[in-house]
Amino acid sequence: MKRILILIVCIPFLFTIAYAQQLEQYEISISRATVDYTDIQASGIATDHGLLISPDSFHLIGFLQDIDRLQDAGIVAVARVLQPKSKQVTASRNSFCTFDDIFDSTPPANFSLGSLANGYYTLNEIYDQMDEMRRIHPGLISRQLPIDTFETYEGRSIYHYVLSSNVLPSQVKPKIMMTALTHAREPMSIISQVYFYWWLLEQYDVNQQVKWLLDNTELYLVPCVNPDGYAYNTNVTSGRMGLWRKNRRLNADGTYGVDVNRNYVIDWGGTGASSIPSSEIYHGVAPLSEPEAAAVNFLHTTIPFETVVNVHSFSNLVITPGYERLQQVGPRDLNLSLAQAMRRDNGYVVGEGLNTVLYASSGSATDHFAFHDGAVATGNTFSFTPEVGSRTFGFFPPQDTLAGMAADALLTNFRALQSAHFTVVLDPFYNGLQDGGVIRLRARRISKTSGVAILKVTSLDPRLRFGSTSINLDFTNTDAISINLPYTVDAGSTDLHLGYELSFEDMPHTFPFKSGPIVYQKATVLMEEAGAELANVFGVNPALDNGSRPVLGFNDQTAAGIVFASVNYPEDAESLLIRYKVDYLAPALSEASSPIFNAFDLADPVCFHQGSYVLDNFSNYWGETNGYLEDFYVIDEFLQPGGAVGFDLAANLTGVYTYIDSLEVVALSPVELNPSNTQESNRTSVQFTPNPANTSVRIESGDLTITQVALYDDVGRYLGMRPVEAGKLSLEAVPSGVLMVRLFDVQGQQVGYSKLVVR
């Protein structure tokens, strides 16, 4: 197979070490010329956050003490102070990426931040938040409950709470556990959880899906696994969050702390942990030697949890259990299926530790809960580690980003609750493209429980007819089912104003999907030819695979540069979908660069990597992504047809590489579900000023008076009617993207339609 190597994006390191206060975060760069990754681990620093690998360097986020550890180990590092820019971060839901359009992500009214700098909580404020939840919602959350008699080294209890419509333990309801603050310096982990707890409580009386889940599920919450370490961080720094990671165990050599997330039983003492007590990843003297790990394990062994979610920060990941064990049997695919659903709204990267944090972390909670009996079994607990928060901000994000990051994690948490019951989800927009009279979908199970799902197809307009309105999907022996829904539209003289609804019968905890009347037609504008691989696309001759080890470079030479291919898309194209698979060389993932364009400016992809960052054959030299990676790019309406798509290409004879393969570029164009084929005369000549617009736009339509408009989003979902007052249209609360705007005159008659780009 021929392959092209994608250049791995790395952060430039321009300065040597800048001396600053102890709590400053640093971007650290280490040359790979003389240092191996195991040398960095042996220095005792924790590398499970923000690590990137370029062909010549390792890059990570750390602290001054980490730089000192590297220097003590004889490792040369250059660094600069991480200076994240404060900016608002809001939930990045996008209609291309998800069918959960009715998911209510209304911010919880009672959520508030803490008194520490940046809005972080003290330990007591975490418990105060939980007490306030019980005061306002006494029937939904239990009082503070210590986990058996376990106490920390400093004498603190480790508390848990039960969130359910019946807070008394039940033998009937399936059970979920969610933990936070295993590592003491990760305040975003508990902020995202407190946000989620409040959201569940406040949605109970207004959201039927949340109500059903809380009526039929018990959610066990451990908001602070490591109270000693967290209290130390909040007390030692005069109102700021400290950088302590471990618990506060006094070790035999006089140092403090054991890494609680290296102290669990499964693979204890293996790769990714240290036997040196001063190390940040010290595993302790024995498995479960630490009361924090022993307490959480006690809950796990006494309560049959369906799913365990161990929330950490940062890096925007959903980490699944260890690769080597799940490689053997089917549960790995089911774990990945749920993980993909958990990250579908926020673009988190999915994969096992080797594919995300780039190394195995033995003795971790996620592996322990998944393989509690030391083996792989279909009935074992679902177990995940979401890493909430961007590498941009590191461990301590600014205050004005916290609520947005927490909102981005809402659906990730909600999926965990759904997984306790037979749950089926619909795959994202690409598999639902509605062209040629057929709606194409893919349904996937994200629960251990199997069964038959009944998909209900409901037309919302009498002229839109489906060949079938009820489809049985048997998931007894499969995890995924492809669906084709043929449709016809009766003749008529007016446009359809409604589309259709998809829902699952007898699955009250899932949200229906409602479409609008505007659908998209696909046109493949660039694709590999059979047998030619990528050579025909880029006009290059990638090296051949010579067996166990590939030939690196192009024409067997080292190479670097950007390769472009022409893309001629239809004039009415509104977005490009770029699909490709990725092969990996070496047992680690480095994120591939997205395609770049030289003919016009595009924003970042509106969807990120809908495929999976997973090695399918880790034992061999090559691995391949599990399915296509998919990036959507929105094209502004004023662009002319044609352009070029390019990939950064590079190769040399050392390092970790990422290769692309199976490339396809698809243009998406809007199609009216109007059998009368609306005439061009009905496309009133209007001008939106400005376009793209932000909060409002003026509509200039000559002598014609426009009094109201109907808005539809980029996949045709109806957003509602809006008045036009004195030629001005308010865009408050209108989602960004390309909108279809239907125009109505003073008599309420549709007089045309046009497109508007909202930023």
Q: Using one digit for the tens of pLDDT, what is the confidence trace for 389-432?
A: 887 788 999 998 899 899 989 989 999 999 999 999 887 554 44
Judge contact between 280 and 46, C-beta under 8 A.
yes
Residue 685: per-residue pLDDT: 64
Q: What are the φ/ψ torsions at residue 321 (nearest 5 degrees)?
A: -60, 165
Tokens of 688: 């939106």
Domain 424-508: which topology?
Answer: Immunoglobulin-like (2.60.40)
Torsion of CA 530, 533, 535, 538, to 10 degrees: 100
* pLDDT tens digits, 504-553: 999 999 988 877 666 667 777 777 665 555 555 655 554 433 333 332 33
Whole-angstrom CA distances from 654 to 81, 139, 176, 381, 585 are 29, 60, 45, 39, 11
HSE-CB of 2 using CA atoms within 13 angstroms:
19
Domain 522-672: which topology?
Answer: Jelly Rolls (2.60.120)
Domain 424-508 and domain 680-758 have a common topology: yes
Cβ-based neighbours of 5, under 8 Å, separated by 6 or more: 552, 553, 559, 649, 650, 651, 657, 658, 659
Average pLDDT rounded to a whole number, residues 724-752: 83
**Least confident among 118-127, 206-215, 321-330, 411-420:** 321-330
Architecture category of domain 4-81 in CATH? 2-Layer Sandwich (3.30)
CA-based nearest residue to 365, from 379, 354, 381, 376: 381
CA-based nearest residue to 412, from 506, 477, 343, 472: 343
Partners of 473 in the β-ladder: 453
CA-based nearest residue to 282, from 303, 311, 255, 310: 255
Judge contact between 154 and 392, C-beta under 8 A.
no
Tokens of 403: 């609520």
pLDDT of 641 over the 90 cut: no
pLDDT of 481 over the 80 cut: yes
Tokens of 565: 């291919």
Ranges assigned E (strand) in 404-477: 424-426, 434-435, 438-445, 452-459, 464-466, 470-474
Residue that is written with structure tokens 């001063």 in the block: 278
Higher pLDDT, 701 or 445: 445
pLDDT of 283 over the 80 cut: yes
HSE-CB of 204 using CA atoms within 13 angstroms:
21
Q: Which of 253-267, 331-345, 520-534 has the highest mean pLDDT?
A: 253-267
* pLDDT tens digits, 42-90: 888 887 776 666 657 777 888 888 888 898 888 888 888 887 655 444 4
Residue 538: per-residue pLDDT: 58
Judge contact between 648 and 556, C-beta under 8 A.
no
Provide the angle, in degrees to the nearest 10, between the axes of the packed helices 399-408 and 410-418: 30
Strand pairing category for 480-489 and 349-352: unpaired
* pLDDT tens digits, 161-204: 999 997 666 668 999 999 999 999 999 999 999 999 999 999 99
Cβ-based neighbours of 726, under 8 Å, separated by 6 or more: none
Residue that is written with structure tokens 């630490």 in the block: 290
CA–CA separation, 292 and 744 (whole Å): 64
Assign 62 to helix, strand or coil: strand
Residue 628: per-residue pLDDT: 59
Residue 130: per-residue pLDDT: 98
Judge contact between 318 and 342, C-beta under 8 A.
yes
Architecture category of domain 680-758 in CATH? Sandwich (2.60)
Query: What residue spans define the domains of the chain?
Result: 4-81, 117-249+261-268+290-418, 424-508, 522-672, 680-758
Residue 342: per-residue pLDDT: 86
CA–CA separation, 132 and 151 (whole Å): 24
Judge contact between 739 and 714, C-beta under 8 A.
yes
Look up the CATH superfamily of 117-249+261-268+290-418. Zn peptidases (3.40.630.10)
* pLDDT tens digits, 7-20: 222 333 333 333 33
Higher pLDDT, 136 or 631: 136
CA–CA separation, 173 and 212 (whole Å): 12
